[in-house]
Amino acid sequence: MSARALTQIKYVGADDPSHGETSCEECPIRYRAVCAHCESDELARLEGIKFYRSYEPGQAIVWGGDQMDFVGSVVSGVATLTQTLEDGRTQMVGLLLPSDFLGRPGRSTATYNAVATTKVVLCCFRRKPFGEMMNRLPSLSRRLLEMTLDELDAAREWMLLLGRKTAREKIASFIAIIARREASMHMRSPGGRTEIELPLTREAMADYLGLTLETVSRQVNALKRDGIIELHGKRGVVLPDFARLVEESGDDADGGWIS
Amino acid sequence: MSARALTQIKYVGADDPSHGETSCEECPIRYRAVCAHCESDELARLEGIKFYRSYEPGQAIVWGGDQMDFVGSVVSGVATLTQTLEDGRTQMVGLLLPSDFLGRPGRSTATYNAVATTKVVLCCFRRKPFGEMMNRLPSLSRRLLEMTLDELDAAREWMLLLGRKTAREKIASFIAIIARREASMHMRSPGGRTEIELPLTREAMADYLGLTLETVSRQVNALKRDGIIELHGKRGVVLPDFARLVEESGDDADGGWIS
DNA sequence: CGTGAGTTTGAGTCATGTCAAGGACCGTGG
DNA sequence: CCACGGTCCTTGACATGACTCAAACTCACG
């Protein structure tokens, strides 16, 4: 199924020296990534060991079970973490947007399949030196703990979605999540009219939501028929009334997404 | 539904001075809890600020949204973390067994409902002093990061279960998870014949698995009819052949649960 | 203007949910 | 000791939301 399509272009991402000169101070994810709390002297030490890699849409970053000798942050683009059963059933377990962290320091093999869904640039560190840095720079390990706790909260919200929401609520929730993350990227909150771009195909949305792609398609179009969303092309979505969408998502309130 | 039943005995757990003299060195979770990596001098400093609380079966530990001025480790017993939609649909998002950590340092309000399902003893720390300790003792924050990463992995495994497994596979997976955790408690691996005790009611299992309690009941009894499990009373389960159970769980292999 | 990936739509099936009734177990009080 | 009530569990009949299989449409790209 999708796993097959993905492995077609499975190879290691190219080292990308074109980013070699990019200064951390000017990095687009400077204040959100794992390095967010670092002072400029600490940042300089990280800068000394970083390197960039880039991946094309559909390209595998790592495959679950394979050796993984680096960790890194998504600088730009979107990647997914997925898990599969023997018979091909696939569940997405992570959606990596800019500033999100990939890999586990202290573990040498990947646990999940990581795949770029758009062009992705990763700011990487070799695992060992990064581990050293973690020990030397408390601001680094403190930030990683913070990010991991946030991810755990997100995973638990996701579990509620997977276990208890209807297909319609799942779709509405997903669109609301994307709208919130896009908004927080630009430091605004999703207000009245909002325009977003879905970062995933229908099939990838299905893997995110624990549905089939047909059900995703049907429910997206049902929300459109009901005036909750407008569609512009396959990926473009306009939300005439964000609050209306949240109502459809089944969540009680807008879960305090201010920051 | 279940939420109503739980709130019936919602009150703060009694401080439990009877455990006041228990030395950390002799603590049953000494080498598994958040304090696992602490040297004895570090442990002594933690010991100075710890206190115990105990909770009766069915009693709420905290309610989502409420103030929570402490964090702590489960010393004995079983507690659950749950999340609910307005209309009462409930999803369990955490199952806390001995040595598991409850609460988020640096957050003053609880995110989830935490409820004791058996008698529970918690080793607690006030939030502020614990935060101080986190800054002073790297072994503490390093261990918390490690535990949080493990929990995130468990949450992602759980997401695969919720999103993609059949009811039968969910039940088999749940029993296998419990068997593994019981085995690791006693430092053995779940081999041929294994006896376990389910720590949850059928309803709580349903909330764990994203099913109804009727479906749980039916599938548990189906596994019994098929000879995968034997039932002894409502909670007792005997596994004549652990590998056979794992086959039913849908996972490809026994996911390396050695440690 | 053909090709293929992504998407939509329809018809039929099935796994799981819903509603309802009854059984097993256990502690309590008459 | 037994009847009672409550909690938990089981079982049956039926409803339905989501899945499966199949076909056709859209659109970007060569």
CATH class of the domain at A165-248: mainly alpha
The two counts, helices (H) then strands (E), for chain A are 8, 12
B41 backbone dihedrals φ, ψ, rounded to 5°: -70, -35
The residues near B102 (Cβ < 8 Å, ≥ 6 apart) are B61, B71, B72, B73, B74, B79, B96, B114, B122
- Residue holding tokens 């996911």? B255
Q: Tell whether the model's pLDDT for residue B1 goes beyond 90.
A: no
Q: Report the mean per-residue pLDDT for chain A.
A: 91
- Per-residue pLDDT band for B254 (boundaries 50, 70, 90) equals low
Residue B10 is predicted with a pLDDT of 39
The CATH 1.10.10.10 portion of chain B extends over 165-248
pLDDT at B148 over 50: yes
CA of B218, C1' of D11: distance in angstroms: 9
Amino acid identity at A205: M
Residues of A in contact with B93 (CB under 8 A): 156, 159-160
Polymer length of chain A: 259
Give the per-residue pLDDT at B195: 93
Q: What is the pLDDT of residue B2?
A: 40
Average pLDDT over residues B17-27: 77
Q: Per CB distance under 8 Å, which residues of A are interface residues toward B?
A: 81, 83, 85-86, 89-91, 93-94, 104, 106, 111-112, 135, 138, 141-142, 144-146, 148-149, 151-153, 155-160, 162-165, 209-210, 250-252
Element containing residue A100 per DSSP (H, E): none
Domain with CATH 2.60.120.10 in chain A: 2-150
DSSP E strand boundaries for B39-190: 51-55, 60-62, 70-76, 79-84, 90-96, 101-102, 113-116, 120-126
CATH number of the A2-150 domain? 2.60.120.10
pLDDT band at B184 (very low <50, low <70, confident <90, very high): confident
**How many CB atoms sit inside 10 A of residue A89's CB?**
19
Among chain B residues, CA nearest to A65: B255
pLDDT at B8: 36
User: Would you place residue B102 in the very low, low, confident or very high pLDDT band (cuts 50, 70, 90)?
Assistant: very high
Identify from A81, A87, A91 which residue to disrupt to test chain B contact, counting B C-beta atoms within 10 A and taking the largest count: A91
Q: Which residues of B touch A111 (CB under 8 A)?
A: 153, 156
A21 confidence band (pLDDT: 50, 70, 90): low
Sheet-wide strand order for A60-62: A60-62, A113-116, A79-84, A90-96
A110 with A66: CB under 8 angstroms? Answer: yes
Structure tokens at A176: 């609301």
Residue B121, pLDDT score: 96
- Looking at the predicted structure, is the pLDDT value of residue B42 above 60? yes
Nucleotide nearest to A214 (CA to C1'): C8
Q: Does domain B2-148 have CATH number 2.60.120.10?
A: yes
B46 with B130: CB under 8 angstroms? no
pLDDT digits (tens, 9 = 90+) for A112-171: 999 999 999 999 999 999 999 999 999 999 999 999 999 999 999 999 999 999 999 999
d(CA B101, CA B145): 11
Span(s) in chain B for CATH 2.60.120.10: 2-148
What per-residue confidence (pLDDT) applies to A206? 98
pLDDT tens digits, residue range A58-98? 999 999 999 999 999 999 999 999 999 999 999 999 999 99
Q: What pLDDT score was predicted for residue A184?
A: 86
Reported as a pLDDT band with limits 50, 70 and 90, residue B187 is confident
* Strand C–CB B168 distance below 7 A: yes
Among B90, B112, B141, select the one facing A145 at the smallest CB separation: B141
pLDDT at A190: 77
> Which residue of B87, B112, B149, B249 is the best one to mutate when testing the A interface, meaning the one whose CB has the most A CBs within 10 A?
B149
pLDDT score for A253:
65
**Rounded CA separation B56/A78 (Å):** 46
